[in-house]
Amino acid sequence: ETGVTQSPTHLIKTRGQQVTLRCSSQSGHNTVSWYQQALGQGPQFIFQYYREEENGRGNFPPRFSGLQFPNYSSELNVNALELDDSALYLCASSSRTSGGPEYFGPGTRLLVL
């Protein structure tokens, strides 16, 4: 059992709305990263947080933003939703020295209508 949980599991929004996705990381892991996985594609890196600071960002616009809290849980916020934002959003946690995420959550599937 990975210990990474995400909520909600599914979400339906309309274009222009805002959404907040949540992630609780594996105990002891201080690094959390977020990925977007469109249907039939590999995951794409959105950004990573380490000790509550953004520590790397992929090719996503500023309307994608995040937070990491002192307990290492995290939020992904997306403003002004577009149809192309429909995807599975994955949260992953790791230790600083692992070189990459070890544990992924089950994801939140977002549908934008």
Partner 1 sequence: AQSVTQLGSHVSVSEGALVLLRCNYSSSVPPYLFWYVQYPNQGLQLLLKYTTGATLVKGINGFEAEFKKSETSFHLTKPSAHMSDAAEYFCAVSLYNQGGKLIFGQGTELSVKP
- Number of continuous H segments (helices) and E segments (strands) in the chain: 0, 11
- Cβ–Cβ under 8 Å, residues 81 and 14: yes
- Residue 69 CB, shortest distance to partner 1, in Å, is 19
Q: How far is CA 76 from CA 8, 37, 82, in A?
A: 12, 14, 15
Q: Residue numbers of the site for partner 1 (CB under 8 A)? A: 2, 4, 6, 31, 33, 35, 41-45, 48, 50, 55-56, 58, 90, 92, 94, 98-107
- Residue 16 CB, shortest distance to partner 1, in Å, is 28
- DSSP letter assigned to residue 26: P
The whole-angstrom separation of Cα 87 and Cα 43 is 10
The type of residue at 10 is H
Nearer to partner 1, 35 or 64 (CB): 35
Nearer to partner 1, 19 or 91 (CB): 91
Nearer to partner 1, 18 or 98 (CB): 98
- Residue 91 CB, shortest distance to partner 1, in Å, is 8
